[in-house]
Amino acid sequence: MKAFVVNKYGPGGLRATEVPEPQVRARDVLVRVSATSVNPLDKMVRNGELKLLLKYKRPFVLGHDVAGIVTEVGADVREFKVGDEVYARPRDLRIGTFAEYIAIDQDDLALKPKSLTLQQAAAVPLVALAAWQALVDVAQVEPGQKVLIHAGAGGLGSTVVQLAKHLGAYVATTVNSYDVDRARELGADEVLDYTKSDFADLPSDFDVVLDSLGGSNLEKSLKILRPGGLAVSVVGPPDPTFADQVGQPLLRPVMAVLSRKVRKQARKLGVRYSFFFTRASGSQLRDLAALYDAGHLRPVVDEHTFQFDQAVEALAYVEHGKARGKVVITMDQESR
C-alpha cells in the first residue's frame, strides 16, 4: 500500500513509498483511510523531538488522525464490523494514518459522529481528545471558572474554546486580527487581538490557561493566574509525569530538569504548571461524537484541502503557519 514514512529524522525525512499492508491482531480493526489531518505533533515526531520518549523504529508511517471504513476485524473484536465508519487518534507507537490502511486497537476507535462527513471527522480526533483531556481530566474545569485559551482560532484552540463554553466556563482567547470574528462565533466571551494588546495586562484572576505557544508566552501566562490556578501547556517543557505517561519512568529526572525553571516560577507565584500530551481513547471519542452530533462542538477546517499525494506539502503548510483550522488530507479513491 502507499504510505508516507519517516525514513530519517528532520524536515526532509518524510517521503512517499510502498509498505506492506498492516497485520491485524486479535484486538485490531483494519481501517481503509478516507481522510487524515495534520497536527503540529506530526512535525515534532518527524523531526525526532520526542525520540527519547517515543522510540519509533524507522522507517515508520506518520500521522495521528484518521477517519475511514472498517474492512476487517480481529478475532476478539465485538464492537465494530466491516463497513462501519469510524474515527481515531491511534495510540503512540502505533500511529500511521498517512497511509491507505491502518490497523488500530479497538480501544482507540469509535464510530464517527453521524453529523460529520468522513473528511470532517478526520479533523477531529486528536484536537477533540486534547481539549477534553486538558479541560476535564487535567484542569477539571467547572462552571463559572475563567479560562484563557491561546490561539483560539487554530486547530486545537478552536475546539478548546467550544468545549470550555460547553463546560460553563468564562472563556477568553488570543487571536490574530483576522480571526476575531471567528473566535466570537465559536463562543469566546472575551477576544484579544494579540497584534493590538498584550494578554499579560489582563487581571490575575484566571483559573486555567491553556498554552500552545510556549516560551515567554507560557511565562506570562503564569502571571495572570489566580493563586492556585493552573497553566496547562501542550508544547512543553515536559514535566516528570509525562515520563510516566509514555512508559519511561526512568526519565523522570530528565523531565524534572527540563521543566525545573517553569515549575520554580509557578511555585514562586503560588500557581501550578502541567505539561499535557494527548492519549488515545475510544471511549472519550464516543462521548465527543455525541457532543458533535448535538451541535455543542463543530470542526474548524482550513479551506485548503490536500490530496493524499500532497501530504508533505500539507505538513509544510501547517509548519509555515498558513493554516486557519485543521488541514485535512483526503485519500484519492482512484489510487486504490
Task: Kindly tell me if the per-residue pLDDT of 120 is higher than 90.
Answer: yes
Please tell me the predicted confidence (pLDDT) of residue 225: 98
Distance CA 17, CA 33 (A): 16
Reported confidence tier of residue 52, pLDDT bands at 50, 70, 90: confident
- CATH superfamily assigned to domain 2-124+299-335: Medium-chain alcohol dehydrogenases, catalytic domain (3.90.180.10)
User: What pTM was estimated for this model as a whole?
Assistant: 0.95
Residue 122, class by beta-carbon neighbours within 10 Å (0-12 exposed, 13-18 middle, 19+ buried)? buried
List the chain domain ranges: 2-124+299-335, 127-275
Q: What are phi and psi of 120, to 5 degrees?
A: -65, -40
Architecture of domain 127-275: 3-Layer(aba) Sandwich (3.40)
- How high does pLDDT run on average in the chain? 95
Asked if residues 89 and 129 have their Cβ atoms less than 8 Å apart, the reply is: yes
Q: What number is the average pLDDT over the span 69-87?
A: 98
Alpha-carbon torsion angle 15, 18, 24, 27, nearest 10: 10
Please tell me the predicted confidence (pLDDT) of residue 332: 65
Paired with 225 in beta bridges are 206
- Sign of the dihedral through C-alpha 129, 132, 134, 136: negative
pLDDT in tens, 287-317: 999 999 999 999 999 999 999 999 999 999 9
Task: Kindly tell me if the per-residue pLDDT of 336 is higher than 60.
Answer: no
